[in-house]
């Protein structure tokens, strides 16, 4: 979350005139994140988040907003989109498509215990299970084609050794057929800062704007690469075991998924590394963006490459 497009209090009041949410009490920009413009919006009826979509194609927005609406109504704690008085969930502010959603209570746990990781795994599985009944679908914009093309685009900015690492990893990933694995709607960005904990048992999930159709195990790997890492860019086996144990309460992994686990951990680390390189070398103008560490993701990928056998053992 960031502020790319400023919104004034008068503009927010004009927007609220199309909702039954009461009068504006306060409007505060949110600095975290790097994709959309976000504000905390407090009205007389409660606390909300106003999001302006900066780069997402308008034709894709109904998928994301509809997904949040679907999950919120299927016992997943996530933002619930508000409806305008004309019934629409999407609106427009300063020429940008926008949405108002409920603001979840709580804060991220950036140093999760094994118990917190287990609960986080349970929540991710609940998203995957509830997503089965969602009618919408959307291809992953950051799939194989993006990983390969973006690696070429960012290569001129990197040392030769890092370019070689990217090329080799993309070639390695191309050897594996993931069409045999369970596919569904994934969150795509299930990091620690996208789960807000009201208490140790109740976590609410935010930022669904990387959601898409893809291999479910890939989503688990993206999450584990953030929830279960040590400061030296290695995996904490105890937290990995806890996360996966929590996940498998609702959706046990299949044998083929267990076989592909080391591959997916590497794929997830590669995608995160590439994405963070993009934010570093191709930044978007924002008033408040806080960048993320791409070097850490590279070292995590190198760790996964060097310890494939040990990674497979984490599922035993």
pLDDT at 104: 97
60 and 197 share a domain?
Answer: no
Q: Which CATH number characterizes residue 230's domain?
A: 3.90.1200.10
202 and 145 share a domain?
Answer: yes
Q: Would you say residue 58 lies in a domain?
A: yes
For the beta carbon of residue 161, count every other beta carbon within 10 angstroms: 7
73 and 219 share a domain?
Answer: no
299 and 176 share a domain?
Answer: yes
224 and 81 share a domain?
Answer: no
For the beta carbon of residue 56, count every other beta carbon within 10 angstroms: 17
80 and 134 share a domain?
Answer: no
What are the structure tokens assigned to 286, written together? 């924002």
Q: Would you say residue 108 lies in a domain?
A: no
Give the residue among 294, 265, 287 at the shortest CA–CA distance from 1: 287
What are the structure tokens assigned to 125, written together? 């599985």
β-bridge partners, 203: 197
210 and 308 share a domain?
Answer: yes
pLDDT at 315: 74
pLDDT at 288: 42
pLDDT tens for the chain, residues 1 to 316: 467 899 999 999 999 999 999 999 999 999 765 679 999 999 999 999 999 999 899 999 999 999 999 999 999 999 999 999 999 999 999 999 999 999 999 999 999 999 999 999 999 999 999 999 999 999 999 999 999 999 999 999 999 999 999 999 999 999 999 999 999 999 999 999 999 999 888 999 999 999 999 999 999 999 999 999 999 999 999 999 999 999 999 999 999 999 999 999 999 999 999 999 998 898 765 444 455 678 999 999 999 999 877 777 777 7
Residue ending a domain, among 102, 130, 154, is 102
DSSP letters for 100-121:
EEEPPPSB--SS--HHHHHHHH
pLDDT at 285: 57
Q: Give the structural domain span for 305.
A: 114-313
pLDDT at 287: 45
Structural domain count of the chain: 2
236 and 267 share a domain?
Answer: yes
pLDDT at 290: 53
Per-state percent for the chain, helix, strand, coil, to nearest 5: 45, 15, 40
Give the residue among 270, 278, 271 at the shortest CA–CA distance from 158: 278
pLDDT at 133: 96
What's the CA dihedral at 69, 74, 75, 78 to 10 degrees?
-20
pTM for the model stands at 0.93
């Amino acid at each position: 979350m960031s502020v790319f497009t400023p919104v004034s209090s008068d503009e927010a009041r004009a927007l609220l005139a199309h909702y039954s949410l009461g009068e504006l009490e306060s409007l505060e920009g949110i600095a975290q994140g790097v994709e959309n413009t976000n504000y905390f919006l407090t009205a007389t009826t409660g606390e909300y988040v106003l999001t302006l979509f900066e780069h997402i194609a308008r034709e894709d927005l109904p998928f994301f907003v509809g997904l949040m609406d679907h999950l919120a109504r299927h016992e997943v704690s996530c933002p619930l989109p508000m409806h305008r008085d004309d019934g629409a969930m999407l609106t427009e502010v300063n020429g940008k498509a926008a949405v108002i959603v409920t603001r979840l209570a709580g804060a991220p746990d950036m140093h999760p215990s094994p118990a917190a990781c287990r609960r986080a795994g349970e929540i991710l599985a609940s998203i995957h299970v509830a997503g089965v009944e969602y009618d919408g679908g959307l291809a992953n914009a950051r799939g194989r084609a993006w990983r390969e093309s973006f690696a070429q685009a960012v290569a001129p900015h990197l040392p030769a050794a890092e370019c070689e690492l990217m090329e080799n990893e993309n070639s390695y990933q191309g050897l594996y057929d993931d069409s045999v694995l369970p596919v569904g709607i994934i969150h795509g960005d299930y990091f620690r800062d996208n789960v807000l904990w009201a208490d140790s048992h109740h976590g609410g999930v935010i930022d669904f704007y990387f959601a898409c159709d893809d291999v479910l195990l890939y989503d688990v790997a993206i999450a584990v690469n953030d929830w279960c890492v040590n400061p030296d860019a290695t995996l904490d086996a105890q937290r990995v075991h806890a996360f996966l144990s929590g996940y498998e309460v609702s959706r046990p992994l299949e044998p083929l998924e267990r076989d592909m686990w080391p591959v997916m951990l590497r794929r997830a680390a590669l995608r995160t590394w590439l994405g963070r390189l993009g934010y570093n070398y191709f930044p978007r103008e924002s008033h408040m963006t806080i960048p993320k560490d791409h070097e850490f993701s590279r070292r995590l990928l190198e760790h996964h490459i060097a310890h494939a056998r040990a990674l497979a053992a984490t599922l035993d």
